[in-house]
Amino acid sequence: MSLYETLADEIARSIASGVLRAGDKLPSVRDACSARGVSPSTVFQAYYLLEARGLVRAQPRSGYYVNVPAESLPPEPGASCPDGESTELAISERIFDILDSVRNRDVTPLGSAFPSPLLFPLPRLAQAMAAHLKRQDPRDTVDDLAPGNPRLRRQIALRYLIGGINLPASDIVITNGALEALNLCLQAVTQPGDSVMVEAPTFYGALQALERLGLKALEVPTHPRTGIDLAAMEAAIERHAPRACWLMTQFQNPLGSLMPDDRKRQLVELLARHDIPLIEDDVYGELYFGPARPVPAKAYDTRGLVLHCSSFSKCLAPGYRIGWASAGRYAQRVQRLKLSSTLSASGPAQGAIAEYLEQGGYDRHLRRLRETLQTQQERMADAIAHAFPAGTRVTRQQGGFFLWLELPAAVDALALHRQALSRGISVAPGPIFSASGQFGSALRLNYGHPWDARTESAIRVLGELAREACSPAARMRPSANVSREARRPPRSS
């Protein structure tokens, strides 16, 4: 056996015995050379061999990381199957109750919607804010009113341009986070009583926005890998004549699905044929694990029907509340709604982010963030594979920072959420992602926090709770499913 094969076998044995675990970084080529007294080409060949065997993956400009063996992971969930009806919403209270309960800092935040704030360049942003405030001509503050700081809008447009998308800076309206952008866009294209197509499951913020505006949700089947089902969408359009569609084409929350490019194009064409505006939520677009940033559906929009929304909240500056909308033919309406509601986003926050982007370094930060998230995802997926009961299904996200788990039907996700909270762990239970009370046995878990002993133990506890719920004794108790039925919100067609 050659030297490199011996080295590769040794590393493979360390992986098999658990000394090296999913997400661990292999020693750098230089360290491996000096530790073993071999040449760089021997180490490289050993690492290539391990990569070819699927045991490790190369992370450009970073190194080699241990993979979770695909066969050791639970299977993936299939496409969802909503009932195809248009649903009036009464879900906001439940969502508030659950979100309130996960805010406690002492709780392990697996139910949180944000990655750890420690992953962001907050000191550099603070310096950028100071530099901006020092240089600012007080008369410039008027520039920050809607549509927003021109330097920031230019920087955002430039980033799209580099990604191959022409979004004129003049079309971009700066908002208080993506949530305001999405709400303004929804308001710009609907009237109370209209139906709006959403994914099943969907981001609970979308359901709350629909409820607030007196709109009905039309849930469309969605696949955890490829996103919303276009044939089902066409059938829903024929049947219910929805006024708009709100969805995520990339790293959907909670499923993590990424629509392939040709499906994004087909989606835009389908909606254009029916003159239906698409509100595209792209807050996780920068958090891809593949080789390049995928393009949003907005890239295929030739008729100005895509209202594209995003923000810096998940990838750079949580708490700054800076987002934007590029609303195509609705741009002026959105800008006026912004002016007549909250006037503008914070001037200093807009200026700080513009300054930071102009200084450079954002892409370096994003590279590190994506690497960290991917490693943490592998660790969590591996831990779930060991802790959860048979029958559990888990998504394989290609970006973002959530895993979606579908547990055996005996598990009541709302009950599990309460039990977990009493043990100091938050989870996001499946029903908050559904207008019609579906996903009663599903959970969304956040892997955007450092993988440490506390998180590892939290996964073990969740696994135990889920196993207990599946045990014969637990199944003798009054049915979890009955109590879930009783909590279903009202429905109308």
In the complex, the smallest distance separating the C-beta of residue 319 from ligand PLP, rounded to whole angstroms, is 9
Q: Which two tokens stand for residue 47?
A: 């690492």
Q: Which residue, 179 or 184, has its beta carbon nearer to ligand PLP? A: 179
Burial per residue of 61-94, b for 16 or more beta-carbon CB atoms within 10 angstroms, e otherwise? eeebbbbbeeeebbeebebbebebbbbbbebbeb
Q: What are phi and psi of 244, to 5 degrees?
A: -155, 170
Cα 212 to Cα 26, 174, 207, 383: the distances in Å are: 50, 22, 9, 39
The residues in 12-41 that bind ligand PLP, with binding defined as CB under 6 A, are none
Q: Which residue, 11 or 113, has its beta carbon nearer to ligand PLP? A: 113
Using the contact rule CB under 6 A, the part of the chain among 50-58, 93-101, 176-184, 428-436 near ligand PLP is 176-184
In the complex, the smallest distance separating the C-beta of residue 440 from ligand PLP, rounded to whole angstroms, is 21
Query: Which helix (DSSP H) or strand (DSSP E) does residue 42 occupy?
Result: helix 40-52
In the complex, the smallest distance separating the C-beta of residue 306 from ligand PLP, rounded to whole angstroms, is 16
In the complex, the smallest distance separating the C-beta of residue 179 from ligand PLP, rounded to whole angstroms, is 3
Interacting residue with ligand PLP among 49, 91, 113, 270 (CB under 6 A) = 113
Cross-strand bridge partners of residue 199: 220
Q: Which two tokens stand for residue 12?
A: 């493979």
Give yes or no for residue 194 binding ligand PLP (CB under 6 A). no
The residues in 398-437 that bind ligand PLP, with binding defined as CB under 6 A, are none
Spell out the residues 6+ positions from residue 363 whose beta carbon is closer than 8 angstroms to its own: none
Give residue for tokens 């594209």: 308
In the complex, the smallest distance separating the C-beta of residue 311 from ligand PLP, rounded to whole angstroms, is 3
The residues in 262-281 that bind ligand PLP, with binding defined as CB under 6 A, are 281
Q: Which residue, 20 or 267, has its beta carbon nearer to ligand PLP? A: 267
Interacting residue with ligand PLP among 29, 99, 102, 178 (CB under 6 A) = 178
Interacting residue with ligand PLP among 177, 256, 277, 328 (CB under 6 A) = 177
Give yes or no for residue 186 binding ligand PLP (CB under 6 A). no
CA 238, distance to chain mean position in Å, is: 30
What residue number has its CB nearest to ligand PLP? 177
Residue among 260, 252, 189 nearest 220 (CA): 252
Give residue for tokens 């987002």: 323
In the complex, the smallest distance separating the C-beta of residue 415 from ligand PLP, rounded to whole angstroms, is 24
In the complex, the smallest distance separating the C-beta of residue 230 from ligand PLP, rounded to whole angstroms, is 21
The residues in 315-354 that bind ligand PLP, with binding defined as CB under 6 A, are 323
SS3 content of the chain, % helix, strand, coil (to 5): 50, 15, 35
Give yes or no for residue 185 binding ligand PLP (CB under 6 A). no
Q: Which two tokens stand for residue 136?
A: 């600012």
| 127/118 Cα distance (integer angstroms) | 16
Q: Which residue, 240 or 264, has its beta carbon nearer to ligand PLP? A: 264
Using the contact rule CB under 6 A, the part of the chain among 155-163, 174-182, 224-232, 483-491 near ligand PLP is 174-182
In the complex, the smallest distance separating the C-beta of residue 446 from ligand PLP, rounded to whole angstroms, is 10
Amino acid in the structure at residue 196: V
Q: How many helices (H) and strands (E) are present in the chain, helices listed first?
A: 17, 17
Contact present, 233 and 270 (Cβ < 8 Å): yes
| 447/222 Cα distance (integer angstroms) | 22
Query: Which helix (DSSP H) or strand (DSSP E) does residue 453 occupy?
Result: helix 453-470
Give residue for tokens 């046995």: 441
Interacting residue with ligand PLP among 8, 15, 99, 179 (CB under 6 A) = 179
Q: Where are the alpha helices (DSSP H) in 136-200?
A: 150-162, 177-189
- Mark residues 66-105: x for contact with ligand PLP by CB under 6 A, - for none: ----------------------------------------
Give yes or no for residue 283 binding ligand PLP (CB under 6 A). yes
Give yes or no for residue 203 binding ligand PLP (CB under 6 A). yes
Q: Which two tokens stand for residue 285?
A: 């677009």
104: Cα within 13 Å, side-chain hemisphere: 14
Q: Which residue, 152 or 387, has its beta carbon nearer to ligand PLP? A: 152
Give yes or no for residue 205 binding ligand PLP (CB under 6 A). yes
Q: Which residue, 435 or 466, has its beta carbon nearer to ligand PLP? A: 435
Interacting residue with ligand PLP among 67, 250, 253, 434 (CB under 6 A) = 253
Interface with ligand PLP by CB under 6 A: which residues?
113, 177-179, 203, 205, 248, 253, 281, 283, 311, 313, 323
